[in-house]
Amino acid sequence: MDYNDIFNQAQTLNLYGRLISLRRPIIMGVVNATPDSFFSSSRVKNDKEIIHKVNQMIEQGATIIDLGGCSTRPNAEFVSENEELDRVLPIIKLLKHEFPLIIISIDTFRARVASKALESGASMVNDISGGQLDEEMFSIISDYKAPYILTHFGGTIDNFVQPVVYKNLIKDMLDYFEDKVNQLTQLGHRELIIDLGFGFSKTVSQNYEVLQYLELFKIFNLPILVGLSRKSMIYKELNIKPEEALNGTTVLHTIALNKGAKILRVHDVKAAQEAIILCEKIIS
């Protein structure tokens, strides 16, 4: 497949006619409508707290807000689909009322949640399963023509955060993305972002191998999103807590930016923005 003939969007994100330039990397701020996300500061409890947090993220430079209602941290128990909808739909409506131009990404692996969220004002879908936990997902996002974050997912619903045995990690990932991108393009879907799935179905050392070879995934000519913020590959390696992992996060963000990452999914917008500003000084 000649991806350059099919896609011409590695530098642009099209949200229903609203073009977001990716010539300069952008930031996706994480907001969790869950009581048990691994980093407590990403959780929100009431409308006032939600509005304050999102306003702060926007002021600090976030372009997208990624909203999740079902924790995917290690050992988390998935809430029901209805509970997930009850958590996220009121927040989407609240944020669209308070910030009419806000870009909301719904973080879900469930097609029905994605559909209802898009109907309520979300603009894109962030699916950690690459469409593998709900067979209707690809059909839904293609029907809506919603930008879709396609994540590398090597596990199952029961062990998606557990390491997987790969024949050749990087080659297996490249084959995975080629297959998934082919499936989506055959459905007529073109607004794709790839997420290398740091922290999902990989050991700590495998996560660093993926980071080392991140630039190879530019072959797809699609924007690359990295979700490194305060993850276990940082705090386990440094023997610290997630709350202490901001410095390590910034180090890895700097590496990822230098290797071609276009979207940083983060808990700490200000620090990520500073990393982008400084990296711009040396990245042409």
**4 has pLDDT over 70:** no
d(CA 24, CA 37) in angstroms, rounded, equals 29
Q: What are phi and psi of 123, to 5 degrees?
A: -110, -15
Alpha-carbon dihedral angle through residues 142, 146, 149, 153, given to the nearest 10 degrees: -30
What is the predicted pLDDT for the residue at 261? 97
**40 has pLDDT over 60:** no
What is the predicted pLDDT for the residue at 79? 87
Task: Please report, rounded to a whole number, the percentage of residues in the chain having pLDDT higher than 70.
Answer: 88
**Do the domain assignments include residue 233?**
yes
pLDDT tens track for 165-206: 899 999 999 999 999 999 999 999 989 999 999 998 899 999
What is the predicted pLDDT for the residue at 17? 83
Helix (H, G, I), strand (E, B) or coil at 172: helix
What is the predicted pLDDT for the residue at 78? 78
**Do the domain assignments include residue 56?**
yes
**Do the domain assignments include residue 2?**
no
pLDDT tens track for 260-272: 999 999 999 999 9
**8 has pLDDT over 70:** no
Task: Please report, rounded to a whole number, the percentage of residues in the chain having pLDDT higher than 90.
Answer: 76
Global pTM reads 0.91
**Do the domain assignments include residue 267?**
yes
**Do the domain assignments include residue 235?**
yes
Q: Which of 116, 231, 259, 262 is catalytic?
A: 231
Helix (H) or strand (E) holding 21: strand 18-21
What is the predicted pLDDT for the residue at 265? 98
Provide the residue range defining the domain that includes 79.
8-279
**10 has pLDDT over 80:** no
What is the predicted pLDDT for the residue at 150? 98
Alpha-carbon dihedral angle through residues 63, 69, 73, 74, given to the nearest 10 degrees: -160
**Do the domain assignments include residue 1?**
no
One-letter amino acid at 187 equals L
Mean pLDDT computed over every residue of the chain: 89
d(CA 134, CA 109) in angstroms, rounded, equals 7
**Do the domain assignments include residue 36?**
yes
DSSP-derived secondary structure for 53-117: HHHHHHHHT-SEEEEESS--STTPPPPPHHHHHHHHHHHHHHHHHH-TT--EEEE-S-HHHHHHH
Which CATH number characterizes residue 134's domain? 3.20.20.20
pLDDT tens track for 47-83: 888 999 999 999 999 999 999 998 776 666 778 999 9
Counted domains in the chain: 1
DSSP-derived secondary structure for 253-269: HHHHHHTT--EEEES-H
pLDDT tens track for 88-129: 999 999 999 999 999 999 999 999 999 999 999 999 999 999
Residue 265 a catalytic site member: yes
**Do the domain assignments include residue 210?**
yes
